């Protein structure tokens, strides 16, 4: 079976663009936090500059930084799974991508506002959405190759 990329794949592309922009916004929040808490490069929250801030500010900065780092750790896998799933079922993949973004927003908001314990509100949504993308891609690839 040949994969034909139809106009519905645009939904997948929109989801990928949304995830990319959200990741960029999360990274830019670290830049704002660096200015706010006076933690300059190359300090990532554990060096000389961070030694000069209060414990409260150090935790606040690191919550923002960790949110960005976590996104950067996952964005590659999520985008690959999104595009692969979208080759077969673009609207379904896009909906999982949008759900991932909602989970990512809840994760970041919880982490920044309430610390690591509050990330739990978004983490399951992100995890299930990502797993759904991987399963969608895998199932469709399997059924169109091995079972074809």
Give the whole-angstrom CA distance, residue 113 versus residue 46: 21
pLDDT(46) > 80: no
| Rounded mean pLDDT, 23-46 | 90
What is the value of pTM for the model shown?
0.92
> Of 136, 53, 125, which Cα lies nearest the Cα of 89?
136
DSSP state of 47: S
109 close to 125: Cβ distance less than 8 angstroms: no
pLDDT digits (tens, 9 = 90+) for 49-104: 677 889 899 999 999 999 999 999 999 999 999 999 999 999 999 999 999 999 99
């Amino acid at each position: 079976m040949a994969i034909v990329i139809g106009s519905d794949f645009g939904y997948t592309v929109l989801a990928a663009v949304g995830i990319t922009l959200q990741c960029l916004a999360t990274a830019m929040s670290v830049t704002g936090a660096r200015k706010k808490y006076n933690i300059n490069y190359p300090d990532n929250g554990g060096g000389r500059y961070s030694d000069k801030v209060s414990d409260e500010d150090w935790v606040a900065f690191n919550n923002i930084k960790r949110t960005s780092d976590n996104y950067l750790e996952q964005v590659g896998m999520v985008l690959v799974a999104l595009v692969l799933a979208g080759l077969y079922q673009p609207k379904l993949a896009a909906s999982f991508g949008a759900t991932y973004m909602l989970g990512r927003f809840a994760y970041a908001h919880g982490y920044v506002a309430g610390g690591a314990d509050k990330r739990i509100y978004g983490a399951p949504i992100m995890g299930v959405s990502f797993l759904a993308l991987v399963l969608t891609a895998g199932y469709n690839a399997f059924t169109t190759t091995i079972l074809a």
